[in-house]
Chains A and B, each alone.
Chain A
């Protein structure tokens, strides 16, 4: 049997609320500390306790971080998902299960390993009775130590990190790991080909989730006011600000340069944010689709009254309440024109956790420079799952506070200013900030029609002039937005455009498309709407452009068609939304199904013919 080293997926099936996350994070950290590129994804129900939940860990010597649809190593700890878990093991794979689950094993094509989880925990007199279930999860970690070659020293290091050096829980959990490993050594015979071996591919890398990265980026951006309302999958973003900001903004006088307010709902969360943005603070809120729907009226006000704010939307799949714990990229159309009347939005689209950090601070610069709401669209997969990444980079430009006039500026201008006066011809006016004591500083902000001096007016000419200036402002805004990221293959005439968390799956799929079908592709990952000129250029210079995204209607595709009507026929939508993170297989098959080259092999089925596999995920057989 040929060994398969550092190139397989592990999935652990447990009950929600059973405390398995410590065990799963320990495996993830240990693999990472072995130097093996790894990613971890939590597939969890919208439930506190009891429903099945899965954690997938992908080890990839080649550094691919996207979800895979196949799993070679399955650990079944939950009787309710046992049958499904057993069926999900790839042929030739390994199936570990807690031996107190008395269900029949119906497969002969995989290696079967029972684990006496309950017995081993009960045998340890140092584990109190009410800790047995929690610590029991460490037994499977120990079994994997022996059976896969998970390094026990790195497991210890991972536990040490997790419990922040507290000896008692470290020892209790590590003893269970050792008990599992010792038992496996004495009782199990290796019958599968999957192994972990040390590499050096994670040196200098970090692992982080996008919400934490966004939070820390925002703090480095000088976030001063955060208002939020709990919602999955965005809550951990504001919570991470609460976790990190006391350390990062600690002062000698013990006083705070910021305020984080948990509001009574999303209306109030964004309302407070708009109030704070108006009064000169770097103000932000974070939410997901349902919260964003509630925020619409304030988004329109902030657009029209020109108040800088940052709104993070960690997307989950809708419409309505949808699947609260599943990922999506279906808020783009909504956000782009958010609000009634003629509106525009600036939308930033981070593609990995590093960009969540970068856009955390850059979003404030853009919002204050352009004086408008900036929406940052992340998603559940990026926001809540662990991604290997380069370390966060300290901001390389000073803060841009935009066109703000304080007392001495007004003195120099001799009061010659107007809140909505386009002095510079770029559509971006100057603003003063409450607390300014200059007699000519004040103005009355409103969502009603206003003239250059912010005075109420119903004059059609003035109204129209202001709306045209706002349009010009958004033209000017393009220069401040992040440019797309281009991945090129020499000689490629086929393009792929996408945004956000699908990048990992797309880059993996591109390798497969070239290897299996000879399709060379260039890939442009868009990072902002309105589009910067590079996007138009990319569309113009490719024969076919596949627009890949996780939603039903091809929202990015629609925006690209609107922006490039003359190229509409060569923009091809590859859109699919079922709540699961993109996989390379889905991207590859989705593109290939629509590929209209005559040499296309007939054997590959289209993704429209689906079979249900693991976790209800539809994928081509």
Chain B
């Protein structure tokens, strides 16, 4: 995916010669002001700025408002809008077809934390090479406003009354299930969303991005935890985050002061630079990560930023020791055993 800078390239194209428009999708059909749309826009920007070839990305989604959004970015990528809660299994099989491709999956809180909880947790433990975005609004939008599993207890919704159940914390579930990259952001914080998207994309393995994405239609009362107003008030960033591309690409130096920053190296030589706001948070220490998430829950904080990362864990396709060529480019000579093997097999049958 890395490419050398092209001499004399026009200013409005990136290092792979693409304009931002080359990363766009169809016009959105979601509600005006939907948090999902701003996430789609950040995906477009992140991919453009990271010089990603759209042909090297596979888009996946399940069912729901969020799962429609892969239509709204990167039309040049193959995509698979699958079944409710089943995006992880489709992505797992799909990425085996060509292990040189990167997956970007978009799911929602219903798709992931309710019907798809099983597949969500199992794709974590397999460390699939997938950016797994949850556009989390605490509500079922497409079926017009029922509670989701991430809705906080006591949330009042127009037709539903009060939510009687405790919420699922997607980030905590991901960490517990041995995800190798877990981050949370807020759709209203565009810069952070974009930097985290870049970091997630650079990560080899499963990268979970839980993005609180207010539903302007069904869950935007000022006191609802997935609303703009509540999110803005309660956002507790762990750090400012800056993604620094690999050194072999042209990059802008970021002014960093000793003592305030923590660099996290990615497998491809790129860096995440965390500028700590309050304390020396260590996103590689699972124990501290879980304590921080627990603390945030108790205090009603919306902890954002890079919550957990562990690099250089073998991905699913690494584990399978696949041939260098994409599996889907193999042909009969690679796939069908030679005729002599038939006799050998028959000799083994009694």
Can you name the residue of chain A whose Cβ is closest to the Cβ of B125?
A264
Say whether A447 contacts B350, CB under 8 Å.
Answer: no
Assuming A391-B346, A439-B76, is B321 touching A254 (CB within 8 A)?
A: yes
- The 8 A CB mask of B59-102 against A (1 = contact, 0 = none) is 10000000000110001111111110010111111111110110
Say whether B97 contacts A207, CB under 8 Å.
Answer: no
Residues of chain A contacted by B55 (CB below 8 angstroms): 435-437, 439, 441-442
Q: List 27 A-B contacts (CB under 8 A).
A: A224-B327, A224-B335, A225-B327, A227-B93, A244-B345, A255-B322, A256-B323, A257-B330, A259-B96, A259-B322, A267-B119, A268-B88, A271-B82, A271-B88, A271-B90, A271-B92, A275-B80, A275-B96, A297-B83, A301-B83, A392-B342, A399-B335, A399-B336, A434-B97, A435-B329, A439-B76, A456-B71
Say whether B122 contacts A271, CB under 8 Å.
Answer: no
Of the candidates A222, A253, A261, which one forms a contact with B92 in the assembled complex, judged by CB atoms under 8 Å apart?
A261
Can you name the residue of chain B whose Cβ is closest to the Cβ of A301?
B83
Report A212 CB to chain B, min CB distance, Å: 8
Interface size of B as a range: 35 or more
Say whether B341 contacts A248, CB under 8 Å.
Answer: yes
Bound complex: CA A263 to CA B118 (Å) = 11
Of the candidates A33, A206, A272, A280, which one forms a contact with B349 in the assembled complex, judged by CB atoms under 8 Å apart?
A206
Residues of chain B contacted by A271 (CB below 8 angstroms): 82-83, 86, 88-90, 92-93, 119
Can you name the residue of chain B whose Cβ is closest to the Cβ of A216?
B345
Of the candidates B70, B101, B322, which one forms a contact with A256 in the assembled complex, judged by CB atoms under 8 Å apart?
B322
Of the candidates A265, A269, A276, which one forms a contact with B96 in the assembled complex, judged by CB atoms under 8 Å apart?
A276
Report A574 CB to chain B, min CB distance, Å: 33
Bound complex: CA A441 to CA B349 (Å) = 45
Assuming A206-B350, A257-B327, is B97 touching A435 (CB within 8 A)?
A: yes
Residues of chain B contacted by A268 (CB below 8 angstroms): 86, 88-89, 92, 118-119, 122
Bound complex: CA A270 to CA B86 (Å) = 10
Say whether B346 contacts A255, CB under 8 Å.
Answer: no
Question: A470: CB under 8 A from chain B?
Answer: no
Report A96 CB to chain B, min CB distance, Å: 25
Say whether A220 contacts B322, CB under 8 Å.
Answer: no
Say whether B328 contacts A275, CB under 8 Å.
Answer: no
Of the candidates A222, A227, A254, which one forms a contact with B335 in the assembled complex, judged by CB atoms under 8 Å apart?
A222
Can you name the residue of chain B whose Cβ is closest to the Cβ of A225?
B96
6 cross-chain pairs, A with B, having the tightest CB-CB distances, nearest first: A279-B97, A275-B93, A271-B89, A222-B335, A280-B328, A276-B93
Residues of chain A contacted by B336 (CB below 8 angstroms): 220-222, 395, 399
Residues of chain A contacted by B98 (CB below 8 angstroms): 279-280, 434-435
- Which residues of A (522-539) have their CB < 8 Å from a CB of B? none
Can you name the residue of chain A whose Cβ is closest to the Cβ of B80?
A445
Say whether A264 contacts B322, CB under 8 Å.
Answer: no
Residues of chain B contacted by A298 (CB below 8 angstroms): 83, 86
Question: A249: CB under 8 A from chain B?
Answer: yes
Knowing that A225-B327, A272-B96 touch, tell me 4 more A-B residue pairs with CB under 8 angstroms: A249-B335, A391-B346, A393-B342, A442-B54
Residues of chain B contacted by A399 (CB below 8 angstroms): 331-332, 335-336
Can you name the residue of chain B whose Cβ is closest to the Cβ of A450?
B81
Residues of chain A contacted by B164 (CB below 8 angstroms): none
Bound complex: CA A541 to CA B122 (Å) = 55
Say whether A447 contacts B323, CB under 8 Å.
Answer: no
Bound complex: CA A398 to CA B76 (Å) = 33
Bound complex: CA A216 to CA B81 (Å) = 33
Of the candidates B88, B321, B328, which one forms a contact with A279 in the assembled complex, judged by CB atoms under 8 Å apart?
B328
Report B294 CB to chain A, min CB distance, Å: 27
Question: A277: CB under 8 A from chain B?
Answer: yes
Bound complex: CA A433 to CA B328 (Å) = 8
Report A426 CB to chain B, min CB distance, Å: 24
Say whether B323 contacts A253, CB under 8 Å.
Answer: yes
Assuming A301-B83, A394-B342, A435-B329, is B93 touching A277 (CB within 8 A)?
A: yes
Can you name the residue of chain B whose Cβ is closest to the Cβ of A224?
B327
Question: A32: CB under 8 A from chain B?
Answer: yes
Say whether A279 contacts B95, CB under 8 Å.
Answer: yes
Report A257 CB to chain B, min CB distance, Å: 5
Residues of chain B contacted by A196 (CB below 8 angstroms): none
Can you name the residue of chain A whose Cβ is closest to the Cβ of B77?
A442
Question: A278: CB under 8 A from chain B?
Answer: yes
Question: A446: CB under 8 A from chain B?
Answer: yes
Report B66 CB to chain A, min CB distance, Å: 15
Say whether B346 contacts A279, CB under 8 Å.
Answer: no
Say whether A281 contacts B89, CB under 8 Å.
Answer: no
Of the candidates A221, A272, A301, A439, which one forms a contact with B93 in the assembled complex, judged by CB atoms under 8 Å apart?
A272
Question: B58: CB under 8 A from chain A?
Answer: yes
Residues of chain A contacted by B330 (CB below 8 angstroms): 224, 257
Assuming A279-B96, A433-B97, A435-B101, is B334 touching A257 (CB within 8 A)?
A: yes
Report B61 CB to chain A, min CB distance, Å: 9
Report A192 CB to chain B, min CB distance, Å: 27
Question: A139: CB under 8 A from chain B?
Answer: no
Residues of chain A contacted by B79 (CB below 8 angstroms): 442-445
Question: B337: CB under 8 A from chain A?
Answer: yes
Question: B253: CB under 8 A from chain A?
Answer: no
Say whether A256 contacts B320, CB under 8 Å.
Answer: yes
Bound complex: CA A14 to CA B105 (Å) = 53
Question: B339: CB under 8 A from chain A?
Answer: yes
- Which residues of A (360-397) have their CB < 8 Å from a CB of B? 386, 391-395
Report A17 CB to chain B, min CB distance, Å: 24
Say whether A280 contacts B86, CB under 8 Å.
Answer: no
Report B171 CB to chain A, min CB distance, Å: 21
Say whether B337 contacts A446, CB under 8 Å.
Answer: no
Residues of chain B contacted by A222 (CB below 8 angstroms): 332, 335-336
Bound complex: CA A261 to CA B317 (Å) = 11
Say whether B76 contacts A442, CB under 8 Å.
Answer: yes
Question: B258: CB under 8 A from chain A?
Answer: no
Residues of chain A contacted by B119 (CB below 8 angstroms): 264, 267-268, 271
Can you name the residue of chain B whose Cβ is closest to the Cβ of A390?
B346
Bound complex: CA A251 to CA B81 (Å) = 36
Residues of chain B contacted by A258 (CB below 8 angstroms): 327
Residues of chain A contacted by B76 (CB below 8 angstroms): 439, 442
Say whether A447 contacts B83, CB under 8 Å.
Answer: yes
Question: A333: CB under 8 A from chain B?
Answer: no
Question: B324: CB under 8 A from chain A?
Answer: yes
Report B321 CB to chain A, min CB distance, Å: 5
Question: A208: CB under 8 A from chain B?
Answer: yes
Question: A47: CB under 8 A from chain B?
Answer: no
Residues of chain A contacted by B80 (CB below 8 angstroms): 275, 278, 444-446
Report A387 CB to chain B, min CB distance, Å: 10
Residues of chain A contacted by B86 (CB below 8 angstroms): 267-268, 271, 297-298
Can you name the residue of chain B whose Cβ is closest to the Cβ of A271?
B89
Residues of chain B contacted by A443 (CB below 8 angstroms): 78-79
Bound complex: CA A117 to CA B241 (Å) = 76
Question: A316: CB under 8 A from chain B?
Answer: no
Residues of chain A contacted by B100 (CB below 8 angstroms): 435
Assuming A29-B350, A437-B55, is B92 touching A281 (CB within 8 A)?
A: no
Report A608 CB to chain B, min CB distance, Å: 40
- The 8 A CB mask of A51-62 against B (1 = contact, 0 = none) is 000000000000
Bound complex: CA A216 to CA B347 (Å) = 13
Say whether B346 contacts A392, CB under 8 Å.
Answer: yes
Report A155 CB to chain B, min CB distance, Å: 14
Bound complex: CA A268 to CA B116 (Å) = 10
Of the candidates A275, A386, A395, A444, which one forms a contact with B89 in the assembled complex, judged by CB atoms under 8 Å apart?
A275
Assuming A280-B97, A435-B101, A435-B326, is B70 touching A444 (CB within 8 A)?
A: yes
Question: A283: CB under 8 A from chain B?
Answer: yes
Assuming A255-B323, A268-B122, A434-B101, is B350 touching A161 (CB within 8 A)?
A: yes
Report A254 CB to chain B, min CB distance, Å: 7
Question: A448: CB under 8 A from chain B?
Answer: yes
Say whether B89 contacts A267, CB under 8 Å.
Answer: yes
Residues of chain A contacted by B71 (CB below 8 angstroms): 444, 456
Say whether B345 contacts A248, CB under 8 Å.
Answer: yes
Residues of chain B contacted by A445 (CB below 8 angstroms): 78-81
Can you name the residue of chain B whose Cβ is closest to the Cβ of A249?
B337
Say whether A279 contacts B345, CB under 8 Å.
Answer: no
